[in-house]
Structure 1
Amino acid sequence: MKRRCRYKAIVFDMDNTLLRSRIDFPRIKRDVFGFLNGCGVLPPDFPLGEHTIATLIEAARGSGKLQAAWEAEIWDTVVRGEREGMAGAELEPFVPEVLERLRGDVAMSVLTNNAREAAIEALHRTGIVSCFEHIAGREQMAALKPSPSGLLHLLSHYPHIRADEWLAVGDSWIDGKAAQQGGVPFLAYHANTAEFERRSVPVIGHIRSMRELADYVYDGD
């Protein structure tokens, strides 16, 4: 007898959720901040440790000092770092078998702050791109995660599925914050539990293996 699903759709983060990313996010963040500080957009005492690359760029935009040419240079820096880190990236353990089990039971999408074209290339190279109905990158967002705009973009493709009938899965507090603001339940994967608590990001649970996802998606026997 087929088990009943608690959710009708799942949205996955990509880096360090589906793929074992080698992107050096701390280095990219330092490079971006160094540029912004050098241009006088952000001050030397800016609390860099409280920010991700995404929130750092949003803070720069919010300062009103970020020129279009400077932002273009920043994105060049980010894209270079993403390409370097995604080269040869492998799947997280058990991802193929879990996606195959879920296929046909729930609609599956990907939401990443990376460029959409790079995400599709990585998912194609690792053999899982066909599992997803939609793949949204930063081009589909009004603002990067933790903004819910990318998530709301995906939800708009499924007007018959309520937000609380979705499940979001990711490794970072910014994934959880986007889900929270979009009204979607969030499941943390290999995440820093303390960081979620510190930032008041609610989760329905924490998993250490992708195999545990089925325990949250399917009702018990």
Structure 2
Amino acid sequence: MKWGWSLICKRRFRGIIFDMDNTLLSSRIDFDRMKQEIFDFLVSKNLINQETVLDVHTVSTIIQKAKESRNYDDKANKQVWEIILDIEKEGMKDACLEPGVVDLLTKIYSNYILVVLTNNSNEAAVSALKEHTIDKYFDYIVTRDHVVELKPSPGGVKNILKKFDLKQKEWLLIGDSWIDGRAAINGGISFLAYKANEQELKEKNIEYIGNINHIKEVFEFI
């Protein structure tokens, strides 16, 4: 038995935030395609410079950059999110749970505050969690509909911190990407990487307490 369970009163964290795509669920969302299509659309509308270096941006930062244009209006914003939603829906069709997720959630949900933080729409996130019958384990779900800026912005983390009466040091965010790590760091909480690209984490200056290859390894850190 792990020390976190035998000495539950001494556990390191009290709240755990999970990224959804490729952390809880093995989704097939093509984020590279999403970024490219958003970029192409914004360039076609003269809302972003074609010379913009795509590699240094996420979908979120590309949109934020486009919003700097005085021509970025409600119509353009609606079209952007329609592109994103279509790709999300396509990618979630064959999504399945990451191995060990149900076992982990079953064992920890009564002793920890559990939250999902995702850049997906509320519609897509709730639907996916319900389809795989794991929605019941979570106390709160934060999607892009709840924040002004997406991860890597810490907006979602700050939303969660305001919701629950826990200290920053009592929260752990688990995710597969550097954008999860940046959201955690800028939100003042710890980050545990899951199957993350360590070279990318290093390049992005992401501090993390570990990089696990199986979700069951979460027990070693909480």
Q: Which TM-score band applies after superposition, normalised by the shorter structure?
A: over 0.9
TM superposition score normalised by structure 1: 0.94
Structure-to-structure mapping, 1:65-144, within 5 angstroms: 65-144=71-150
Give, as a single letter, the amino acid of the residue that structure 1 aligns with 2:211: H
Equivalents in 2 of 1:118, 1:12: separation in Å?
16
- Aligned match for 1:175, one of 176, 180, 185: 180
SS at match of 1:156: helix
- Once the two structures are superposed, residues 54-89 of structure 1 have per-residue CA deviations (whole angstroms, 9 ceiling, x without a partner) of 221112113444222111101000000001111131
Shift of 1:105: 1.6
Equivalents in 2 of 1:65, 1:17: separation in Å?
37
- Once the two structures are superposed, residues 139-192 of structure 1 have per-residue CA deviations (whole angstroms, 9 ceiling, x without a partner) of 111211111111111111112x10110000001111111110110000000101
Which is further off, 57-66 or 194-203?
Answer: 57-66
TM superposition score normalised by structure 2: 0.94
Residue 6 of structure 1: aligned partner: 12
- Aligned match for 1:56, one of 58, 62, 68: 62
**Structure 2: which 5+ runs fail to align?**
none
Equivalents in 1 of 2:68, 2:175: separation in Å?
26
Q: Structure 1 residues 64, 179: CA separation in 2 closer, same or farther (over 3 Å shift)?
A: farther
Q: Structure 1 residues 164, 61: CA separation in 2 closer, same or farther (over 3 Å shift)?
A: same
Residue 18 of structure 1: aligned partner: 24
- Aligned match for 1:192, one of 197, 200, 204: 197
Structure-to-structure mapping, 1:27-66, within 5 angstroms: 27-66=33-72
Give, as a single letter, the amino acid of the residue that structure 2 aligns with 1:2: S
Asked if 1:207 corresponds to 2:205, the answer is no
SS at match of 1:62: coil
Which is further off, 14-23 or 2-11?
Answer: 2-11
Equivalents in 2 of 1:195, 1:78: separation in Å?
24
Give, as a single letter, the amino acid of the residue that structure 2 aligns with 1:132: F
**RMSD (Å), alpha carbons:** 1.2
Give, as a single letter, the amino acid of the residue that structure 1 aligns with 2:92: M
Equivalents in 2 of 1:58, 1:192: separation in Å?
25
Equivalents in 1 of 2:136, 2:111: separation in Å?
15
Equivalents in 2 of 1:122, 1:69: separation in Å?
28
Count, aligned residues: 216
